[in-house]
Amino acid sequence: MKFAIIQTGGKQYKVQEGQSLKVEKLDIEEGKPVTFDKVLLTYEEGKGVTLGKPFLESINVYGQVVEQAKGPKIIVFKYKPKKRYRKKTGHRQRYTLVKITGIGSEKAEKIEKEVSEPVKAKSTVKKPSVRAKAKTRS
């Protein structure tokens, strides 16, 4: 049994080859490969546990995006008694379903042959700062 613990979207997941995994929305199209480079720990029978400080440099987890979807609807209802205040809103969290295809450094050559350039996982979108906006307006 071989597994790894990865970090994506501010969360940590235990993954094995062949497993399907729901993660925070990644900006990658369906059917494209994805590489998770933030590997915290790996375990392999015979070799034991390998810990990163904080991440393992030479080991990656490879997967393929199966679908981009939305989770179930969550209703948020705000209410203040005797004030005639009622507010009802809903929310559907977006997620990406990823099928794990490989763990380790030896899988990199095989995947790179299949697809010319593997796409790194982007779990957060960096917004420009207020100062950057002010500079662009001037």
Assess contact for 10 and 24: CB atoms under 8 A.
yes
Q: Which residue has the higher pLDDT, 127 or 44?
A: 44
pTM recorded for the entire structure: 0.70
Residues 25, 93: Cα–Cα separation, whole Å: 9
Please state, for a pLDDT cut of 70, what percent of the chain lies above it: 76
- Mean pLDDT, the chain, whole residue set: 85
> Is the predicted pLDDT of residue 134 greater than 70, yes or no?
no
> Is the predicted pLDDT of residue 77 greater than 60, yes or no?
yes
Mean pLDDT of 117-128: 55
Q: What is the pLDDT of residues 82-104, one digit of tens each?
A: 999 999 999 999 999 999 999 98
Residues 85, 126: Cα–Cα separation, whole Å: 36
Tell me what pLDDT residue 104 has: 87
Mean pLDDT of 70-85: 97
H helices of the chain, where? Answer: 107-114, 130-137
Rounded to the nearest angstrom, the gap between the alpha carbon of residue 20 and the centroid of all alpha carbons in its chain is 12
- The confidence band for 124, taking pLDDT boundaries of 50, 70 and 90, is low
3-class DSSP state for residue 128?
coil
